[in-house]
Amino acid sequence: MSRPTPVTLLALASLYLAQGLPSGLLAHTLPAIMSLEGVDERWIGALKLLALPWFFKFLWAPWLDRYGQRHHWITGLQLLAASCLLCLSLLPVTTFTTTAGVSFAVLLLLLFCLNTASATQDIATDGLAVSVLPRRWHGIANSLQVGAYKVGMIAGGSGLLLLLDHIGWMQATQGMAVLLLLLLLPVWLMPPAPRTIPVHEPQARDYWQDSFRGFFQHRPGMMAWLAVLLTFKVADSLGSAMIKPMLAQQGWDASGMAGLILLSSLCGLLGAALGGVVYFRLGAIRSLLLAGFLQAVGIGAWSLVTIGISTHAVMAIAVFEQVADGMSTVALFAVMMAWCRSGHEGGDYTLQVSLHMVIAGIGSVLSGFVAHALGFSLHFLLAAMLGMAALWCVWQLKHTPLPAWQPEREVRA
């Protein structure tokens, strides 16, 4: 197959968009509501703990590669996510601002279940994408992935914030649940991907351990690649979690934040598309270096907001930072696909994403404490310096033996 069918691309875009909806809720809507209600920034940063299923989904990823059809996994998990949203819609908005009591505990449990369903759906979706897409399309496929995910983030973030003022929390959240169900339709129009690992494989009991050992063992350049996974997005995770608390401190209201998030996220789509082109033209190392540098500059630029710059200047910073974020994410994820083994696509890809997200998640959780200790200006400058330091790890990849980059050579062919 020289190129994927339009139905396949539509189905993958729908699934990645569906993942972005709950992520936008957790990353944008809830922090904005809590910031405006005066909730301590340490609590806001700690919300990232609810995303732990995204960090540790590699633990159960091999079993989704091995058992069942990915279509069935995706359908069941997306139904579960929609059910969590329907339950969330029944909670009053005041629940998000009272960090104690049974209602708040129910909120945290529902958000955790929502993230678990979305994270597990992502395993099946990534495995589907790597298995059905030709290697020549991996860079473009990641542009599609990041772009669709960002559209979902827009809808679940700034879109939901804008709807809150017009139709209220219950109707807005229920609408998101219905959208999740509608996004399943394209999946059932594409032919099911064949299972790549026979369920009757003799060493079935050792499959889980062998799946992880096989990824790390006897692969030249693995240590250099792991260093990139663990450092490349630290600057973004440490810095971006404190953008909304800083804006609230500077006097921005909910509608102002929603407009800013919408504008910058739309420009982030351009960054995702640009990232695929840059990867195709420059290859892995140079695209990672360029996008990583721009990412660090964008995060550091947020420190200028604390000195009282104009609204247009804030918008320019937000746009630049989101374009850089889209480029850097596409480049990183495209190289992740290059490291996936045939037959272990979902597990290998998920393992890499989880490794990089664990460190990024730690940065997000600590972000509130760092900003509280240093102040917002020094906080963003520190994040930028960490981003620049991560480029050294990328530079070490130039010593990676050529066989590890065989998929990238095919992309550029």
pLDDT: is 407 or 232 the higher one?
A: 232
Q: What's the mean per-residue pLDDT of the chain?
A: 80
Domain of 157, CATH number, reads 1.20.1250.20
Nearest to 38 by CA among 96, 88, 89, 109: 96
Q: Cβ–Cβ contacts within 10 Å for residue 351, how many?
A: 24
Residue 326 is assigned to a structural domain of this protein: yes
pLDDT: is 195 or 108 the higher one?
A: 108
Residue 342 is assigned to a structural domain of this protein: yes
Q: What is d(CA 162, CA 77) in angstroms, rounded to the nearest whole number? A: 27
In this prediction, residues 166-181 reach a mean pLDDT of 87
Residue 55 pLDDT greater than 80, yes or no: no
Residue 94 pLDDT greater than 80, yes or no: no
pLDDT per residue as tens digits for the range 216-226: 876 777 888 88
pLDDT class for 380, splitting at 50, 70, 90? Answer: very high
**The pLDDT value given to residue 31:** 80
In this prediction, residues 49-57 reach a mean pLDDT of 81
Least confident of 6-10, 255-259, 321-325, 341-345: 341-345
pLDDT: is 233 or 34 the higher one?
A: 233
Half-sphere exposure of residue 153, counting CA atoms within 13 Å on the CB side?
20
**The pLDDT value given to residue 205:** 55
Nearest to 184 by CA among 63, 53, 20, 72: 72
Residue 197 is assigned to a structural domain of this protein: no
pLDDT: is 64 or 184 the higher one?
A: 184
**The pLDDT value given to residue 411:** 37
pLDDT: is 97 or 381 the higher one?
A: 381
pLDDT per residue as tens digits for the range 130-155: 777 766 666 677 778 778 887 888 88
Least confident of 12-21, 101-110, 191-200: 191-200
Residue 260 is assigned to a structural domain of this protein: yes
In this prediction, residues 351-377 reach a mean pLDDT of 83
Phi-psi region of 168 (alpha: psi -120 to 50; beta: other; left: phi over 0): left
Number of domains comprising the chain: 1
Residue 174 is assigned to a structural domain of this protein: yes
Name, in order, each residue with C-beta under 8 angstroms of 345's C-beta and a sequence gap of 6 or more: 65, 126, 127, 130, 131, 196
Dihedral, 81, 341, 387, 16 alpha carbons, nearest 10: -30
Nearest to 273 by CA among 235, 322, 233, 232: 322
In this prediction, residues 337-346 reach a mean pLDDT of 75
Domain that holds residue 353: 6-191+210-412
pLDDT per residue as tens digits for the range 222-266: 888 888 888 898 888 888 888 888 888 888 877 788 788 778 878
Residue 18 is assigned to a structural domain of this protein: yes
Residue 196 is assigned to a structural domain of this protein: no
Residue 403 pLDDT greater than 70, yes or no: no
Q: What is d(CA 347, CA 153) in angstroms, rounded to the nearest whole number? A: 25
Q: What is d(CA 351, CA 339) in angstroms, rounded to the nearest whole number? A: 11
Nearest to 369 by CA among 107, 36, 49, 24: 49
Q: Output the CA–CA distances (angstroms, integers) from residue 314 to 21, 36, 243, 264, 291, in the order listed.
A: 25, 19, 11, 10, 21
Exposure string for 172-191, b = 16+ CB within 10 A, e = fewer: bbbbbbebbeebbebbeebe
Exposure string for 390-413, b = 16+ CB within 10 A, e = fewer: bbebbeebeebeeebbebbeebee
In this prediction, residues 8-31 reach a mean pLDDT of 85
Residue 198 is assigned to a structural domain of this protein: no
pLDDT class for 277, splitting at 50, 70, 90? Answer: confident
The burial of 106, by beta-carbon neighbours within 10 Å (0-12 exposed, 13-18 middle, 19 or more buried), is given as: middle
**The pLDDT value given to residue 95:** 67
